[in-house]
Amino acid sequence: MIGNKILVIDDQPELRDLLSSFLNSLGYETKTAVNGQDGLFMLEQWPADLVTVDLNMPVLDGHGFIKQAVQRWPDLPIVIVSGIDAVDLAVDALRLGAHDFITKPIESFSLVKNTIDKALESAELVRQNRNYQHNLEIMVEKRTMELEEIKRQLLFSLGKASEYRDNETGRHVIRVGEMCGLIGQEMGMEESAARSLKEAAPLHDIGKIGISDTILLKPGKLTSEEWTLMQGHCQIGCDILRHYSSLQQSNEDLYKQVIKKAQSGEEMALLEMAMAITLCHHEKWEGNGYPIQLSGEDIPLVGRIVAVIDVYDALGSERPYKKAFPEEKCQAIIREGIGNHFDPKVVEAFFDKIEQIKDIRKNWMD
């Protein structure tokens, strides 16, 4: 602790100079103040590592000094140096935040040295512990961010893998994510929620992993039985994601909980939002969609947004069962769906951002 700075506050010049000289002899750098007010001013100019302070002083006494000092410098160790008849006052000062006290007249300077050393060591341990806790929190936060990023990458890859089943490059899921994030912001979603939508939307068709290739890649029209099986990809996707989330209810209860959480307006975790999207992105505004036949605003907003974007991008993409439609026809079909297939407000936001949406399609062409 040698080399530390110590401020000596005492209105008695003899004792002030004596204590300062002794501490200098031990290798400490010292300065002195004649009262508590002077001591506070000195600390502003000269940050000390420890303060010794008398209790009975004019202008601002020791108790007043301690009250203000512990508020401004909570880690500053304060040692009381006061008369033996002031022990009760010293105890009160300890309750205010002082670390220890020395009685005067000083008869043993070895006691002074031990008290000062102990107070400095204690303060250093507190600082080290705080630094350790701070560094630990930083490490935990960094590791948490790394794990979140790994999870995002894995989920994105999972969504992209499902798209490879019926799309040559899998860029459909990238475009859907980018476009949905843009529309989410346009519709007033919080920045964090819009970012989660951007990351969750690519998982909308993850349930296609559970659909047979004979149905998924069939070039012609599906039979009614095949179409029923195809519609099952919504529940399959929700069930797949359930195993990565904290939601472990039975299927029927799970679907109700996912929809209720998405309808509540509460902030949703990434996986919860992805589950709502996979389950609801084929629901229709009029209520004749699938798999649950929700209607209007009972359909979670994230599902309504993905419904518009998924159809729009699918129309402009070549698939085993169709050629890509031109841009004008894609937009016309979206307009035709207002109020029956699509939420009118989502479509309005879509066309407000149509130029940026077209840029996304251009930048992420198959």
Residue 100 and residue 118 in contact, taking contact as beta carbons nearer than 8 Å: yes
Domain boundaries, the chain: 5-133, 164-363
Is 104 noted as a catalytic residue in this protein? Answer: no
Among 208, 221, 261, 329, the one annotated catalytic? 208
Which residue ranges in the chain fall short of pLDDT 70? Answer: 1-3, 84-87, 90, 151-152, 154, 156-157, 159-170, 243-252, 320-321
Digit-coded pLDDT (tens) for 309-332: 999 999 998 776 678 899 999 999
Fold match, 5-133 / 164-363: no
pLDDT value for 252:
61
CATH architecture of the domain covering 5-133: 3-Layer(aba) Sandwich (3.40)
What is 164-363's CATH number?
1.10.3210.10
pLDDT value for 144:
75
Distance from CA of residue 47 to its chain's centroid?
35
Digit-coded pLDDT (tens) for 213-272: 888 888 888 899 999 999 999 999 888 888 665 555 555 677 888 888 888 777 788 888
pLDDT value for 317:
85
Residue 176 makes CB contacts below 8 A (sequence gap 6+) with 201, 202, 204, 306, 309, 310, 313
pLDDT value for 139:
86
pLDDT value for 246:
55
